[in-house]
Amino acid sequence: MITFDDVKNAEKIIDGRLHRTPLVHSKTFSDMFNADVYFKMEIFQKTGSFKSRGAFVKFAYLTEEEKKNGVITASAGNHAQGVAFAANAYNVRATIVMPEFTTPAKINAVESYGGHVILKGSSYDEAHDYAVNLGVEKGMTFIEAYNDEKVISGQATIGKEIMDDLNPDVIIVPIGGGGLISGISFAAKSMNPNVRVIGVESEKADSMVKSLKEGRIVSYTSNDTIADGIAVKYPGNITFEMVKKYVDDVVTVNDEDIAYALFKLLEREKVLTEPSGAVGLAALLENKIDVKNKKVAIVLSGGNINFLLLSNIIYRALEREDKLIRLEFKLPDHPGIMIKIVNAISSVGANIYHAEVDNLKKNTPIGYQNLLFTVNIVDKKRINELLEKLNKLGFEYNIVN
């Protein structure tokens, strides 16, 4: 197990080389939850996530022989970038094995830091196994993503910074393999044993919750989650023991709630996180954690998001808030009919975001048009006004979910 001296040494190693990220107060969410809410902005860290902290500390302890032979790791994103960035700073060759489904943006980011990328396997675990075996074969040092005491001591610097800046009642942390929350909880409890540390997982990547419940390390329910940064099949043996000792509770949230939390951060705080980074706020929005009258620090662990996913998240969140509605019509193919629909939409202050005509759909009668309007609208009240007007026009339509 790490010591608090390890955390202080880690702090010295990264001082001046990585950012001491800000702890930002949120009036919006403080008012919403009747609490004093702060966000620890690891999205502003170099490489866009907390992972560079642990990687920098791990590299500081490599021997000259290990540096000469190079390092290898496996990651779907943030850890890969952290290792590549640290390797570049220490002038060490880094090989990064990434799953074959990894987005081009993440591959390009790793390569931009000087990492040599190998795409292998259909999952992180397959990539991990390949990287371990290749490392043994080539004599390279494998850099664990989370189950390593040096890496954990690097992540623990986040907990020390939070305690130095705020000394909150509650700290809320995303959980993947457990390295981040192990480090934060250890540092925080070392400085104030009364602080509560609560972890949040995706309900589909729930290996820590399941392991704690069964008292042994077991795998997650599924890796089919948008929070790919925390979709780790098993906790580490080191992190599992540390979570049992230092973490007060672990809760889960679903993908819809993660996406909505990401949207609310963007809308209200003008802050962009990746899905994994938004799970802490998702837990509050879904009343999974009671923070009333408490001073709360929520760790936003990373901001490296797929922009196509982001566009979908925004779209879905607008639908959830009744600010976007899709209306499908089957209209007689006569001049002047479409303008009646358009006028009804504009009369309630709504705007047509997208319009599509598809007369080849099998269920469209001959002599009719199939139209799909995506409409940006103010709120539920205006939607009801629009539907009233459309009903009076007498045209057949469906609300498309």
Tokens of 193: 């044993």
Distance CA 25, CA 33 (A): 13
Q: Which residue has the tokens 């981040």?
A: 180
Catalytic residue among 46, 51, 150, 288: 51
Distance CA 375, CA 379 (A): 11
Catalytic residue among 49, 182, 276, 301: 301
Distance CA 38, CA 30 (A): 8
SS3 355: strand
Q: How crowded is the C-beta side of 277, counted as CA atoms within 13 Å?
A: 27
Whether 331 contacts 369, CB under 8 Å: yes
301 an active-site residue? yes
Burial of 193 (0-12, 13-18, 19+ CB in 10 A): exposed
Which residues 6+ apart lie within 8 Å of 376 measured at CB? 318, 323, 324, 350, 351, 352, 353
49 an active-site residue? no
Instruction: Tell me the residue type at 200.
Output: V
Name which of 131, 91, 84, 90 is nearest 110 in CA terms.
84
Distance CA 76, CA 96 (A): 9
Whether 275 contacts 316, CB under 8 Å: no
Residue 98 sits at the vertex; the CA angle it makes with 304 and 64, to the nearest 5 degrees, is 95
Whether 235 contacts 217, CB under 8 Å: yes
Distance CA 180, CA 155 (A): 5
- Segment (H or E) for 156: helix 149-165
Catalytic residues: 51, 301
